[in-house]
Structure 1
Amino acid sequence: MNETDLAFTPALELAKLIRRRELSPLELVEIYLNRIQQLNPKLGSYFTVTADLAIADATAKTELITQTSELPPFFGVPISIKDLNPVAGVPCTYGSPALLNNIPEFDDGVVSLIKQAGFIILGKTATSELGSFPYTEPTGFPPARNPWNLEYTPGGSSGGAAAAVAAGLCAIAQGSDGGGSIRGPAACCGLVGIKPARGRVSKAPVGERLAGIAVNGPIARTVADAAAMLDTISGYVTGDPYWLPDPEPSFLTAATTQPKKLRVAFTTGIAPLGEADATCKQAVLQTVQLLEQLGHQVAEMSLDLSALVEPFQIVWQSGITASGLPAEILQPLNRWLLAQTGSVGEYIQAIYSMQIVARQIVALFNNIDVLVLPVYLHSPIRVGEWAALSPEDTFQQIVNWIAPCPPANATGQPAIAIPVGFDSHGLPMSVQLLGKPAAEATLISLAAQLEAANPWIQHRPNLAT
């Protein structure tokens, strides 16, 4: 197997090669670091590359593998961490150049679990400023670009993570999703992205401040890789405000288990924001047709989010105020959003209103198992496409684009984005599957069935090969 093939090998397969001593962690890390050096200047996928730390960790693991066979599941597999999550001793910028010298003294809880699983961290991936936007173009950093077509965005706010996985600059990536920030980049870059159920992945050690809408999760090339990583980062930590029991059996087992016949609903539009464009609609209808062929019961439904749009916006944009960063160092859109922030009473009322709508959305799942949606309402935008718009107009464009994603954040339900094909610009097409509360296993089984029926792993961006 040549170095390019290794760079695109699924993370679970890499772990097997390492355990069989057919490949050393050091050899693998060097392959990825070389690729980062060659391709990251074009892609802007990493803010910080921790080459020395990765080589030191890989060297130690390469030696350890000769001494024991008791190894964690992803021993020696290279991963990236989104630059919203602290890694001890590594700059954490949150997408702001003002924080280039912000060096955390602790690991985020999800980072600790990633290290315990045996992963080797290659660096911190690009994010939009404060994770606010569905594209990754923060001031002071190169814009992140889509490996499939450099003129287009890889999405956001986990845009750097998705670009890195899609281009073979890491085996798998950690992302986070407060309104589509895992699913959108996965869709833009032709990857699998899981937005876990609320309470599945702990926010330890610091907690969360957005009424439970934001979660950490995996971005991967295969459903099995994403499922196995979700296994490693899941679990309750003492003091968590939300929690779920550990899955039984594992999510990885779910990826190898055929789903039962499911009741599947679908829609290609979100009221009051309109219908998906032809490409995104095609992705949904193509998936629905395949689901019918696989024996599932499929029916169309409507989804009206009129009552969710305003309260969700209020809760979501409160994260900018909560960051504590002064207005003068923020990008114009975040500065404008900061100025729109209302009183504490308005925030609490928005949470109350959001929870009412969330109950109505979850109630739809009394009669269905899975809802198939577009990930976004139109195809990826070009890098800089909205740069000349006013903040208010940009924000409205964002709302209209990402509309299918926030419902799962508001309700806390799990969702998964999976690739289904290509559009006329050579960009991936994708759909998302939204499941019952805490029912990641059902989504993973169904996604794996779709993946087997419409394989994707053989596709690679020309840039990356």
Structure 2
Amino acid sequence: MNETDLAFTPALELAQLIRRREISPLELVEIYLNRIQQLNPQLGSYFTVTADLAIADATAKTELLTTAAELPAFFGVPISIKDLNAVAGVPCTYGSPALLDNIPEFDDGVVTRIKQAGFIILGKTATSELGSFPYTEPTGFPPARNPWNLEYTPGGSSGGAAAAVAAGLCAIAQGSDGGGSIRGPAACCGLVGIKPARGRVSKAPVGDRLAGLGVNGPIARTVADAAAMLDSISGYITGDPYWLPDPEPSFLTAAQTPPGSLRIAFATDIPPLGAADANCQQAVLHTVKLLAELGHQVEEKSLDFSALVEPFQIVWQSGIAAAGIPPEVLQPVNRWLLSRVGTVGEYIQAVYKMQIVARQIVAFFDTVDVVILPVYLHSPIRVGEWANLSPEDTFQQIVNWVAPCPPANATGQPAIALPVGFDSNGLPMSVQLIGKPAAEATIISLAAQLEAANPWIHHRPGLVV
């Protein structure tokens, strides 16, 4: 197997190659670091590359291979961490040049779990400022670009993470999702992205600034990789305000188990914001046809998220205020959002309204197992496409693009973005599978079935091979 093939090999397969001593962690890390050096200047996928730390860790793990009786699931596999999450001793900028000197003294809980799973961290991937936007173009950093076409965005706010996986600059990535920030980039870059259920992955040791909207999760090349990583990062950490029990059986087992016949609803129109474009509609309709052929009960349903828009926006913009960044150093849209932040009472009222709407959305799942939606309402935008719009107009464009994603954040339900084909510009197209509360296993099993019927793993961006 040549170095390019190794760089695009699924993470679980790399772990097996390491176990069989067919490649060492050090050799693998050097392959990815070389690719980062060659391609990251074009892609802007990493803010910080921790080459020395990665080589030291890989050297130690390579030596351990000769003596260790048991190895964790992803021993020696290179991964990236989104630059909204703390890694001890490594800058954490949150996409703001004002925080270039912010060096945490601790690991976030999800990073601790990643290290315990045996991963080797290659660096911190690019994010939009404070994780606010579905594109990754923060002031003071190069814009992240889509490996399938450099003129287009890889999405956001986990845009750097998705670009890195799609370009073979890491085997798998950690992302986070407060309104589509895992699913959107995965969709833009032709990857599998899981937004876990609320309480599945701990946010220790810090608290939650977004009323339960945000959660950490995997961005991967295959459903099995994403499921196995979710197994590794899941679980309660002391003091978590909410949590779910460990899955039985594992999510990886779910990826290897047929789902049976499911009741599936779908929609391509998201009131009050309108219908998906032709590309996104086609992705859903193609998937629906395949699901029916696979024996599932599929029915088009009307879904109206109108009541969610206002309270979700109020909670989201309050997160900008909670970050504590001075307005003068923020990008115009975040500065505008900060200026709109109301009183504490208005925030609590918004959370209250959002929870009521969330109950109504979850009640819809009493009669279905899974809902299929577009990930976004139209294909990826070009880098800088909205740069000359006013903050108000930019924000409205964002809302109109990402509309299918926030409902699952409001309810805390699990969701997966899964690639299904290419749009008219040759960019990846995806669909979103939303499951019942805490039912990641169901949508993982269904996603794996769709993946087997419509394999994607052989697709690679021409730029990076």
Q: Is the shorter-chain TM-score for this pair beyond 0.5, marking a shared fold?
A: yes
Q: 1:131 maps to which residue?
A: 131
Per-residue deviation, 1:69: 2.7
Structure 2: how far apart are the matches of 1:46 and 1:30? 16
Q: Note if contact 1:46-1:160 (Cα within 8 Å) is conserved in structure 2.
A: yes
Q: Secondary structure at the match of 1:181?
A: coil
Amino acid at match of 2:270: I
Deviations 1:92-142 (A, max 9, x none): 000001111111000000000000000000000000000000000000000
User: Aligned-pair distance for 1:239?
Assistant: 1.1
- Aligned amino acid, residue 68 of structure 2: T
- Residue matched to 2:22: 22
Structure 2: distance between partners of 1:256 and 1:111: 26
Deviation at residue 426 of structure 1 after TM alignment = 1.2
Deviations 1:166-205 (A, max 9, x none): 0000000000000000000000000000000000000111
Q: Deviations over 1:209-241 (max 9, x none)?
A: 111000000000000000000000000112111
Q: Secondary structure at the match of 1:418?
A: strand
Q: 2:341 matched to 1:341?
A: yes
1:363 aligns with 2:397: no
Tell me what 2:6 maps to: 6
Following the alignment from structure 2 to structure 1, what is the Cα–Cα distance between the partners of residues 49 and 306? 43
Structure 1 position 399 matched with structure 2 position 429: no
Q: Matched residue of 2:434: which SS?
A: strand
Partner of 2:65: 65
Map 1:318-337 to 2 at 5 A.
318-337=318-337
Instruction: Give the Cα separation in 2 of the matches to 1:454 and 1:260.
Output: 18
Distance (whole Å) between structure 2 residues aligned to residue 101 and residue 68 of structure 1 = 38
Unaligned runs of 5+ in 1: none
What fraction of aligned residue pairs are identical, expressed as a percent?
A: 86
Aligned residue type for 2:265: A
1:29-86 residue CA offsets vs partner (Å, 9 max, x unmatched) = 0000000000000000000000000000000000000111311000000000000000
* Counterpart check, 1:453 vs 2:450: no
Amino acid at match of 1:242: Y
Structure-2 residue corresponding to 1:256: 256
Partners of 1:459 and 1:144 in 2: CA distance: 21
Which amino acid letter does the alignment assign opposite residue 370 of structure 2? V
- TM-score, scaled relative to structure 1: 1.00
Structure 2 counterpart SS, 1:366:
coil
Alignment gaps of 5+ in structure 2: none
**CA–CA distance in structure 2, aligned partners of residues 325 and 151 of structure 1:** 30
In the alignment, the residues of structure 2 paired with residue 449 and residue 316 of structure 1 have an alpha-carbon distance, to the nearest angstrom, of 35
How far is the alpha carbon of 1:458 from its aligned partner?
0.1
Q: Superposed, which structure 2 residues align to 1:87-236 within 5 Å?
A: 87-236=87-236
Aligned-partner Cα distance in 1 for 2:96–2:210: 20
Instruction: Report how far residue 156 of structure 1 moved.
Output: 0.1
Q: Secondary structure, in 3 states, of the residue corresponding to 2:67?
A: coil
Counterpart residue type for residue 193 of structure 2: G
Distance 1:354 1:101 in 2: 36
Tell me the SS of whatever aligns to 1:308: helix
Find the residue that maps to 1:48 and give its secondary structure. strand
Distance 1:305 1:370 in 2: 17
Distance 1:12 1:104 in 2: 30
The separation in 1 between residues aligned to 2:205 and 2:381, in whole angstroms, is 36
SS in 1 for 2:302: coil
Offset from partner CA, 1:359-397 (integer Å, 9 cap, x none):
000000000000000000000000000000000000000
Runs in 1 of length 4+ with deviation above 3 angstroms? Answer: none
1:326-385, Cα deviation, whole Å (9 max, x unpaired): 000100110000000000000000000000100000000000000000000000000000
Q: Please give the secondary structure, in 2, of the residue aligned with 1:217.
A: strand
Write the distance in 2 (CA, Å) between the matches of 1:316 and 1:233: 25
Letter in 2 for 1:314: I
Do the aligned residues in 2 keep the contact of 1:19 with 1:69 (CA within 8 Å)?
no
User: 3-state SS of the aligned residue for 1:444?
Assistant: helix
Counting only pairs closer than 5 Å after superposition, residues 239-318 of structure 1 correspond to structure 2 as 239-318=239-318
Find the aligned partners of 1:29 and 1:424 in 2 and give their Cα distance.
36
Q: Residue 415 of structure 1 corresponds to which residue in structure 2?
A: 415
CA distance in 2, matches of 1:314, 1:302: 25
- Superposition deviation, residue 423 in structure 1: 1.1
TM-score by length of 2: 1.00
Residue 372 (structure 2) aligns with: 372
Q: State whether structure 2 residue 228 is matched by structure 1 residue 237.
A: no
Please list, as runs of the form range in 1=range in 2, the aligned pairs for 1:40-59 lying within 5 A after superposition: 40-59=40-59
Q: Secondary structure at the match of 1:95?
A: coil
Q: Secondary structure at the match of 2:122?
A: strand
* Aligned mates of 1:58, 1:238 — CA distance in 2: 30
Letter in 1 for 2:18: I
Q: 1:82 touches 1:161 (CA, 8 Å); kept in 2? A: yes
* DSSP 3-state at the match of 1:367: coil
Query: Residues 417 and 433 of structure 1 are in contact (CA less than 8 Å); yes or no, is this contact kept in structure 2?
Result: yes
What letter is aligned with 2:180?
G
Aligned residues: 465
